[in-house]
Structure 1
Amino acid sequence: MSAARKTARPGRFIVLEGLDGAGTTTQTERLASALRADGHAVVTTREPSDGPVGTMVRQALTGRLGLPQGRGPLAPETLALLFAADRTDHLHARVLPALEEGKVVLCDRYVLSSLAYQGASLPMAWVDTVNAHAVSPDLTLFVGVDPRVAAKRRAVRGAPAELFEADEAQRRIARQYLKAITLRQKRERIVRIDGELSVEAVTDACLMQVRRVLARGR
């Protein structure tokens, strides 16, 4: 376990996870509003981050960064290591400072995403190992939706498809998420939320779990 993972911190680190189209970004924003109304200092963030390595990851996901002479996308191992490097940068630049200040950090995607997305084409144990440095969240909320529901939501959104957003890829990633949850539940608290409920009902279910974590001591 890394020094960062051992460090006691007065804040709380909450992660939202799910397929593209599960609604994690919407729920992160809604949770932040509710927690601020409760009187908490809240920081919202996401992965890939907006930092220098995160920018490279986003370029790779949208096809703007790949092998030389346009020979194709980056190798899966390269992309997995970029995600892990971005996570290290993100933790030290944004997450850990906020936790040290006693704030609630809500993060849209984290290690579970790497295990599901990169673990779909690489050994999950290897992806887990390269992320061994990562601080464990106090709570991960997995917003679960059927891949077909997620696909319909992405279609409505109308944004250009990214590297992992093809329907077959999302079905494979959905299976990987379940394996990743089984792996990580041995080390950290992961709660599944029914993401096919109304937006308001999903927020209520998430908020109930977050308030439990905030109410109890470490």
Structure 2
Amino acid sequence: MADILENFIVIEGLDGAGTTTQLKKVSTQLIKKGYNIHNTFEPTDRPIGKLVRDVLAKRFITTPLTLAKLYATDREDHLYNSQDGVIKHINDNEIVISDRYFYSSLAYQGVECDLEVVKSLNNYPHPQILIFIDTPVEECLNRINSRGAEKDIFEHNEFLEKVYNNYIKILKELPEKVTLIKIDGTLSVEKITQTIIGKLNKILK
């Protein structure tokens, strides 16, 4: 039986789906409602996470498997470090909301690496709630292009199509105890936030 971390919420989606935006907006709304919220993200801004970001930004090149291992190691530190780890915050009676988690590794690193190997690297607890912002690849790329910034190593059509297909498979294989909230990512930012909050109100204590 898969381990489930209560009071842990994860937001997932393709690059450009709006996961970071929704992390901020959903957290703000929940705090207004009186919930004790801790925001976090992956890759982290801790030392290993910074290495991951360097690879994504093409500051140095490594193999897909090495990148998968870096992600997994950053994730272990993210969960368990005693200073600012996810589990520490949960034990402090906070609800933790993360922009991305190991589902991103399965979806992204699962394109270029053996998926079973990626799964073995990421044998971590599932969140209580998974929010998936379901956005078409073309829409995500339009948003990425509108930013005007240089694309990272994953932000192109063919790759993201494969990532999207991986996400759909992952969602079908979730443990029953994980509550899935699947949102139409083509809705307005405000409508997405409103929909997520409406569903969370029925779940959170």
- TM class by smaller structure: over 0.9
Task: Describe the superposition over 1:45-97 as per-residue Cα deviations: whole angstroms up to 9, x where unpaired.
Answer: 1000111110110011111122xxxxxxx111111111100000011232111
Residues 1:210 and 1:58: Cα distance change in structure 2 (over 3 Å)? same
Q: Counterparts of 2:46 and 2:174 in 1: how far apart (Å)?
A: 26
**Match of 1:196, SS?**
coil
Residue identity opposite 1:193 in structure 2:
I
Q: Greater share of strand residues, 1 or 2?
A: 2
Q: Counterparts of 1:184 and 1:81 in 2: how far apart (Å)?
A: 22
Aligned pairs (5 A) from 1:143-182? 143-182=133-172
Partner of 2:19: 24
Aligned pairs (5 A) from 1:11-50? 12-50=7-45
- Report the identity percentage: 36
Residue identity opposite 1:138 in structure 2:
Q
Task: Structure 2: give runs of 5+ residues left out of the alignment.
Answer: none
Q: Counterparts of 2:115 and 2:196 in 1: how far apart (Å)?
A: 27
TM-score normalised per structure 2: 0.92
Residue identity opposite 2:48 in structure 1:
V
Task: Describe the superposition over 1:164-210 as per-residue Cα deviations: whole angstroms up to 9, x where unpaired.
Answer: 11121111111111112122345622221111111111001111222
Aligned length: 202
Runs of 4+ in 1 over 6 A off after TM superposition: none
Note if contact 1:112-1:181 (Cα within 8 Å) is conserved in structure 2.
no
CA RMSD of aligned residues (A): 1.7
Q: Counterparts of 2:68 and 2:200 in 1: how far apart (Å)?
A: 29
Residue identity opposite 1:49 in structure 2:
T
TM-score normalised per structure 1: 0.87
Partner of 2:74: 86
Q: Counterparts of 2:177 and 2:169 in 1: how far apart (Å)?
A: 14
1:190 aligns with 2:180: yes
Residue identity opposite 2:126 in structure 1:
S
Of 47, 64, 74, the match for 1:76: 64
Residue identity opposite 2:95 in structure 1:
V
Note if contact 1:54-1:83 (Cα within 8 Å) is conserved in structure 2.
yes
Q: Counterparts of 1:210 and 1:109 in 2: how far apart (Å)?
A: 18
Note if contact 1:138-1:213 (Cα within 8 Å) is conserved in structure 2.
no
